[in-house]
Amino acid sequence: MNAPAALTSAAPLLYWPGETNRCPQCSGKSWHVGRAAAECAGCGHPLPLARQPETGEPVWEPAAQ
């Protein structure tokens, strides 16, 4: 099957925060988003985040006590 979007098909699979991300394995759209990666809620397939959380976004801090 030839995909018309030949340019985007070569791009690495990344999770884009704020966008609708499709799981490459199960086509699911629900994700557990962590600090460095997102994990598919359906099959557990991990994707690296396309960008790091920006300043001001809630990020879990281990030394908050």
Min CB(41)–Zn ion separation in Å: 7
Q: Between 17 and 42, whose beta carbon lies closer to Zn ion?
A: 42
Q: Is 25 one of the binding residues for Zn ion (CB under 5 A)? A: yes
Neighbours of 40 (CB within 10 A): 22
Q: Is 53 one of the binding residues for Zn ion (CB under 5 A)? A: no
Nearest residue to 13 via CA among 23, 2, 5: 23
# binding residues, Zn ion (CB under 5 A): 8
Q: Is 28 one of the binding residues for Zn ion (CB under 5 A)? A: yes
- Residue 4, Ramachandran bin (φ over 0: left; ψ between -120 and 50: alpha; else beta): alpha
